[in-house]
C-alpha cells in the first residue's frame, strides 16, 4: 500500500498526485472564518461551566467510571485544559477547583511513590507542577511526583511507555520537572535525559513511529494485521493515539531548553506529524477515528480533533509551523468543535461536547460516537478542547484596525491621502472602497490595495465615503467610513459655467476682479450672488433696511465654495465684524447691527474666493 493511500480519506485513495494537489489547494475554503477572541473564550467557559456543574466536588476516591479516584489520567488531562483557561481569564473559581483537587489527594499519585510504574498515573504530576509554579512556596506539590520519578530512574525498564498514550501521560511531567531552575529539584538534567530514553524506546526500539507515514501505531499489536470495521486489513493510526503524542510533543517543547541534546529531534517529529495529520483532515474540519482508513467507524471524533487543533495552533504560536499553511486547518478544526460538537442549548446539555470517543485504544471502542452519545469519561476530551481553545485564542489571527482613516477636505485639483493601520498574523491585505465599491489603481489613484491611498488631481466625483477592507486567511475587518469633501475651485467652476473657451483665456474678462459688463460688480461678486457676468439684469444683491434700533442686511448664501463675511463701518474707511450678528434660514442670511439716534452706520458683504 502506498503512503498516500494510508493517510488520506478513502475517497482520495485512488486519486492522482494532481488530484491531491487540487484538494490541498482548495482546503482553505473549508475553514470558514476565525471567531473573535470573545467568542472563543465564551465557548471555553460554556464547556467548563457544564463540567464543573456536573462535578462540583473536584476530589473523590471512587466517583469516576469503574470506581476510579479522580487523580487518574482522565481528570488530570481535564486540569491541563482548565489551567490553560485559567491563564486566559484568571477566574479564581478555576484555580480554587484545581487546588482543592490536589489538596484532596495531598498531591499524591494514584499508586505508591516507590512502586507505581504506570505512566497514566504520572499525568496528574504535570498539573501539580504547574500549580507549584503559581506559588513556589508550596513545595509539597512536588513531593510525590518527584519521588515517583526518582523510583523510575532507579528502574532499568525503559519500555514503561510501551503505548503512545503514555507519552502524554508521563513525559510532559518529566519535561516540566526537569526544566525547573537548578536548586529547586536535584538532578534536573537527569530527568530530561531519562525522558528522552522513554521517548526513544517507544519511537525506535518498539518501532511505534512509522518514519514513512510520520504517524504512530498505538502499540506494537497494531503494527500488522489490523482488521477494519468492514473486514479489510488496513493500517490503523488511531486518531487519539496520534493526539496523545502530538500534545505530548507540544507540552514538552513548551518548557524544554533549546540547548537540550534532543531538542531538534522533538521539533522534527512534531513538524512531520503535523503535515501528516493535516493531510487527513475531513472536509467538515473534524478527523476520523482512524487516520489511515476513513471507512473504519467513519464519522467525526472530537478528542483527537481537539488535540490536533491544540498542537497545530501551539506550533504556529511558537513559530514551529507556518501560519499560512496551517491556519485554515486550525480554523476549520476549531469551528467543527465549537460550532458542531459543543452543545449550545437552553437545556441541561448546554456546554456538553459531542462526538467524543470514550476511553480505549482503537477505533472500535465506545462506538457509536455521536453528537449526543456520552463517553464513559467526559473529562479528558474537555481538557483537550480547553487546550485547543487556549491556543486558538492566543493566535489572535483576525485582522484588527488600530488606526482608522480620517476625514479629508480638499479643493478640486489637490491631492487627498487616506491611511489605515491594521495588524494580524498573517499580515492582512487591504482593499479601499468608495461608497462600497472596490477601487483600482489608475493614473490618479494609487495604493488601492495598500495601507495608504492617494488620489491626485481630485475631482468633484471623488467625493464620498472611503472605507478599507483588511483581510487575511482568518477573516476580515472593515474600517469606519472616512468622508472626502471636494470643494470646487470658485474661479474654475464659474468660468466653466459662464464663459466660452476663448473667454477663459482672457483674464480681463474671466478673472475674479474683472467686470465684463462694466457695471462696477466683479465676476466674483456676481458668481456669489447668482448674477449673470454680462448683465446686472437678474440681480439678487443684498438688501439693507433699518428695523427698530438695528440696521439689517439680507442676502442669499448661494455658494459653498466662497466665503461670505458681513462687516460694519461708521465712516466707510474702517470695517469690522464686531457687533454684527447673523441669523440663517436655509440659504438666506440676515445680518443685524445696532444703531441709535443719528448714528451713521454701513454694512457690506465681503466675498472671498476659495482659491
pLDDT in tens, 92-130: 999 999 999 999 999 999 999 999 999 999 999 999 999
Average pLDDT over residues 234-238: 97
Three-state secondary structure call for residue 346:
coil
Residue with cell string 510525590: 144
Using an 8 Å Cβ cutoff, are 563 and 605 in contact? Answer: no
For residue 512, the model assigns a pLDDT of 81
Q: For residue 476, what pLDDT band results from cuts at 50, 70 and 90? A: confident
Checking if the pLDDT of 410 tops 50, the result is: yes
Phi, psi of 569 (to 5 degrees): -150, 150
* Half-sphere CA count of 518, side-chain side, radius 13 A: 0
- Is the pLDDT at 478 greater than 60? The verdict is yes
Closest CA to 126 of 104, 156, 103, 149: 149
436-470 burial, b for 16+ CB within 10 Å, e for fewer?
eeebeeeeebebbebbebbbeebeeebbbebbbbb
The per-residue pLDDT for 547 is: 76
- Residues carrying CATH 1.50.10.10, the chain: 3-395
Domain with CATH 2.60.40.10 in the chain: 400-487
Which pLDDT tens digit goes with each residue over 145-163? 999 999 999 998 999 999 9
Could you tell me the CATH superfamily of domain 400-487?
Immunoglobulins (2.60.40.10)
Q: Which three cell numbers stand for residue 153?
A: 530512574
Q: Annotate 490-548 with three-state secondary structure.
A: HHHHHHHHHCCHHHHCCHHHHCCCCCCCCCCCCHHHHHHCCCCCCCCCCCCCCEEEEEC
Considering the segment(s) 490-609 as one domain, its CATH architecture is Sandwich (2.60)
pLDDT (tens digit, 9 = 90+) per residue, 184-214?
666 677 999 999 999 999 999 999 999 999 9
Q: Cβ distance 354 to 343 under 8 Å? A: yes
Q: What DSSP element (H or E) covers 196?
A: helix 188-200
Q: Give the model's pLDDT for residue 350.
A: 97
pLDDT digits 0-9 by tens, 331-377: 999 999 999 999 999 999 999 999 999 999 999 999 999 999 999 99
**pLDDT the model gives residue 559:** 82
CA distance 254 to 246: 12
10 Å Cβ neighbour count for 43? 23
- The Cα-based distances of 224 to 159, 168, 221 in angstroms read 20, 24, 7
pLDDT in tens, 286-326: 999 999 999 999 989 999 999 999 999 999 999 999 999 99
In whole angstroms, what is the distance from residue 80 CA to residue 477 CA? 33
Mean of the per-residue pLDDT values of the chain: 88
* Per-residue pLDDT tens digits for 491-520: 555 666 677 777 777 888 877 888 887 777
Specify the higher pLDDT residue, 25 or 218: 218
pLDDT, residue 536, reads 57
Strands (E), 171-329: 209-210, 215-216
Host H or E run for residue 88: helix 73-89
Number of other residues whose CB lies within 10 A of the CB of residue 571: 9
Angle at the Cα of 308 from the Cα atoms of 280 and 379, rounded to 5 degrees: 130
Nearest CA to 222 out of 278, 169, 164 is that of 164
pTM for the whole structure: 0.71
Domain 3-395 has CATH 3.40.50.2300: no
3-state class percentages of the chain: helix first, strand second, coil last, to nearest 5: 40, 15, 45
Cα distance between residue 47 and residue 375, in whole Å: 15
Residues 536 and 517: beta-carbon distance below 8 Å: yes
Determine the Cα angle at 24 with ends 165 and 335, to 5°.
60
Amino acid at each position: 500500500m502506498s503512503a498516500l493511500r494510508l493517510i488520506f480519506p478513502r475517497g482520495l485513495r485512488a486519486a492522482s498526485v494532481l488530484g491531491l494537489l487540487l484538494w490541498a489547494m482548495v482546503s482553505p475554503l473549508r475553514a470558514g472564518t476565525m471567531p473573535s477572541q470573545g467568542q472563543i473564550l465564551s465557548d471555553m467557559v460554556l464547556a467548563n461551566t457544564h463540567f464543573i456543574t456536573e462535578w462540583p466536588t473536584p476530589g473523590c476516591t471512587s466517583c469516576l467510571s469503574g470506581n476510579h479516584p479522580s487523580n487518574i489520567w482522565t481528570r488530570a488531562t481535564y486540569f491541563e485544559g482548565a489551567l490553560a483557561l485559567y491563564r486566559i481569564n484568571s477566574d479564581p473559581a478555576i484555580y480554587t477547583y484545581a487546588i482543592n483537587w490536589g489538596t484532596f489527594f495531598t498531591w499524591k499519585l494514584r499508586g505508591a511513590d516507590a512502586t507505581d510504574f504506570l505512566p497514566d498515573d504520572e499525568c496528574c504530576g504535570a498539573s501539580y507542577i504547574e500549580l507549584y509554579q503559581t506559588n513556589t512556596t508550596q513545595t509539597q506539590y512536588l513531593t510525590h511526583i518527584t519521588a515517583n520519578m526518582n523510583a523510575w530512574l532507579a528502574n532499568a525498564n525503559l519500555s514503561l511507555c510501551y503505548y503512545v498514550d503514555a507519552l502524554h501521560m508521563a513525559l510532559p511531567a518529566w519535561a516540566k520537572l526537569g526544566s525547573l531552575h537548578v536548586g529547586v529539584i536535584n538532578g534536573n538534567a537527569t530527568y530530561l535525559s531519562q525522558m528522552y530514553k522513554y521517548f526513544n524506546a517507544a519511537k525506535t526500539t518498539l518501532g511505534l513511529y512509522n518514519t514513512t507515514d510520520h504517524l504512530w501505531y498505538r502499540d506494537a499489536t497494531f503494527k500488522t494485521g489490523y482488521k477494519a470495521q468492514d473486514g479489510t486489513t488496513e493500517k490503523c493510526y488511531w486518531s487519539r493515539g496520534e493526539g496523545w503524542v502530538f500534545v505530548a510533543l507540544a507540552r514538552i517543547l513548551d518548557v524544554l531548553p533549546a540547548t537540550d541534546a534532543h531538542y531538534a529531534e522533538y521539533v522534527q517529529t512534531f513538524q512531520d506529524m503535523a503535515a501528516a495529520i493535516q493531510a487527513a483532515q475531513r472536509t467538515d474540519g473534524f478527523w476520523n477515528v482512524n487516520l489511515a482508513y476513513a471507512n473504519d467507524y467513519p464519522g467525526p471524533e472530537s478528542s483527537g480533533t481537539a488535540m490536533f487543533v491544540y498542537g497545530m495552533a501551539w506550533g504556529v504560536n511558537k513559530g514551529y509551523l507556518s501560519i499560512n499553511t496551517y491556519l485554515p486547518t486550525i480554523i476549520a478544526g476549531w469551528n467543527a468543535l465549537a460550532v458542531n460538537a459543543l452543545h449550545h442549548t437552553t437545556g441541561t446539555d448546554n456546554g456538553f461536547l459531542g462526538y467524543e470517543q470514550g476511553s480505549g485504544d482503537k477505533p472500535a471502542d465506545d462506538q457509536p460516537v455521536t453528537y449526543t452519545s456520552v463517553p464513559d469519561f467526559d473529562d479528558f476530551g474537555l481538557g483537550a478542547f480547553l487546550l485547543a481553545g487556549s491556543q486558538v485564542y492566543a493566535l489572535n489571527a483576525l485582522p484588527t484596525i488600530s488606526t482608522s482613516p480620517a476625514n479629508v477636505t480638499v479643493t478640486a485639483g489637490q491631492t487627498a491621502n487616506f491611511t489605515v493601520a491594521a495588524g494580524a498574523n498573517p499580515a492582512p491585505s487591504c482593499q479601499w472602497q468608495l461608497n462600497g465599491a472596490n477601487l483600482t489603481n489608475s493614473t490618479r489613484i494609487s495604493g488601492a490595495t495598500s495601507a495608504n491611498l492617494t488620489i491626485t488631481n481630485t475631482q468633484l466625483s471623488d467625493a464620498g465615503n472611503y472605507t478599507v477592507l483588511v483581510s487575511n486567511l482568518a477573516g476580515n475587518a472593515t474600517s469606519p467610513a472616512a468622508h472626502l469633501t471636494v470643494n470646487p475651485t470658485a474661479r474654475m467652476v464659474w468660468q466653466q459655467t459662464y464663459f466660452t473657451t476663448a473667454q477663459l483665456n482672457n483674464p480681463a474678462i474671466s478673472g475674479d476682479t474683472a467686470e465684463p459688463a462694466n457695471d462696477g460688480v466683479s465676476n466674483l461678486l456676481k458668481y456669489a450672488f447668482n448674477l449673470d457676468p454680462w448683465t446686472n439684469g437678474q440681480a439678487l444683491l443684498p438688501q439693507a433696511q433699518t428695523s427698530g434700533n438695528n440696521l439689517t442686511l439680507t442676502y442669499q448664501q448661494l455658494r459653498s465654495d466662497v466665503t461670505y463675511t458681513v462687516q460694519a463701518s461708521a465712516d466707510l474707511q474702517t470695517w469690522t465684524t464686531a457687533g454684527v450678528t447673523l441669523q440663517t434660514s436655509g440659504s438666506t442670511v440676515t445680518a443685524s447691527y445696532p444703531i441709535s439716534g443719528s448714528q451713521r452706520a454701513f454694512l457690506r458683504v465681503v466675498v472671498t474666493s476659495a482659491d
